[in-house]
A and B are shown apart, each in its own frame.
Chain A
Amino acid sequence: MQKQNLAVMTAILALTCANSAKADDRELLKRIEQLETRINELENNQIQTPIPTAQTTPINSMSAFNPYISVVLNGAYNYYSNKNKEISGFQIGEERESPDKGFSLGESEINIGANVDDKFLANLTAAVVSEDGDDKIELEEAFIQTIGLPYGITATAGRLKPVFGYLNEKHAHTDEFADRPLPYRVFLNNSYRDDGVQASIVLPTDFYAEIGGGFYKGGYFPASSEGSGDGAANAYIKFGGDITDNQAWLAGFSYLYAKSNKGRKSDDIVFKGKDNLYGLSLKYTYAPTGNSKETELALQGEYLFRDEKGKYNVENAGFEQYNNKSSGWYLQGTYKFMTNWKVGYRYAQMRPDDVPNTFKDTPLDSQGHNPEIHSVMAEWNNSEFSRIRLQYNYDKSNKKDDNQIVLEYTMSFGAHGAHSF
């Protein structure tokens, strides 16, 4: 009985359902049509809500905070016609020592960096260098820097390359030539780096204006030799802007003070005293088609002047006073005539001072010779990450002429490098 009742009930229910469905048929179709048009409308104007790009959410985010890493490898084949690497009239640091004849590995540079938090970023650059058969790790840079302080102020602390002239703060692999120009080799041992603090302010002007300076331990050339440290300081001002859409310029005036009471040593020469170094730099670029990727002319020149007061000790002959004023300059032009190809020419010259009689016929005595180098280079870049360069130097750093040929590769991989000006 119960079963029968249930069956009847179900039948009635099914019937009513079917009936009402029939009655609502038109209503339903109408509704579907409405929905379809609404979907179409939405598809056509999908502007209401911005869709953030899909993000993968790993279970463990430890690796998500990995810093960016980039590596630059450099290698060369060198040829010299003259073994003498002296630069007439000057004491020079270790870096000026050119690589041996034949195959050599240049600096292999590893750069690691990241934002520490919302107020600081950190950067570490280490270079692996081969010197006299030994592989050494040199800490080129290890600094922290502020992000977004008011008034355009930025402060940097740690091991850094203080701003001096155009080239000092730049990494060697971004240079247009295989070697640093003479004045940098003589006055700054290629590039002055030290431990300290530097601050700068970018002014809120329509053209670019930056003022900065800092204080350092003074533990590297041109201050005291490795480690000791008697203090150094720098100050600079930079201006720049565009002339038209395809011409840009940058000018700078910089000052470096370096004290070496404990002694600046290199080979057979020791210096104790003070260096006042002044630099004037200018850079100009012009892209004839407006697109610097395709063609670009770049001119760059610097003038460095050193006022030095102190005592020199050459080959253990004893310290003797030698206050001297010397200068050096270079001018270079590079032309990218096709996307992948670039050629360049550079001339560099030094003006040493006259030595007193006590230093006659020592390496400090230029004997009236002004060191100079003519360089020409051609390079091919397969992409912005790889470069092969051929350079010829007619080197008259000392009285004996030297014909030098360098064939080198520079490759960078990892994080995308910056196109600095």
Chain B
Amino acid sequence: MNEPAPKTVPLDDKAFRDQLVAIIPSLRAFARGLCGTRDMADDMVQDAMTRAWAARQSYAAGSNFRAWMFMILRNHYYTTLRKNARMVSWDPEVAERVLVAGPTQQDGLNVQDVQKALQKLPAEQREVLLLIGANGVSYEEAADIMGCAIGTIKSRLARGRVALTALIDGPAYKDEPSEKRPRPSAISPTG
């Protein structure tokens, strides 16, 4: 962290542009999960790309471009969150359980339900679930992107998963590996 930065060698503009193009799908996926809606997410990604282009001289060639881009995107997301009170997530304790369509024809959870439930989590938990669970970044990279310790990443991930599960399956759900467990009735009395 505190090592004296050797001279930062930026990428040439053409190479930078190519990296930017290549990362668009991952950025869109990360933003979609953060924002919950396609339009807002795509706006966010374009803003992040514009910012990245403007700041391209500060990107050191050979360093982790994905982490650098994700950091720009999530910083922009949090700035927007703070500016826009309507986007602020509410407390999962008081959030009502999301309506569950039930398992899809294949196996597993309905993706739309998970997307809705994600929006009810605290932003930090949503972010870490997306980075590690969806985008498949390592703990180390997630810690770099979010600017916190690996231990913090792990506890946010664990808490986020529990909260997400509770939102989808109802508060009574215990963390069991079985996918065949009987589902609780659609309406939970505890709300």
**A and B: real partners?**
no
Give the B-binding residues of A (Cβ under 8 A): none
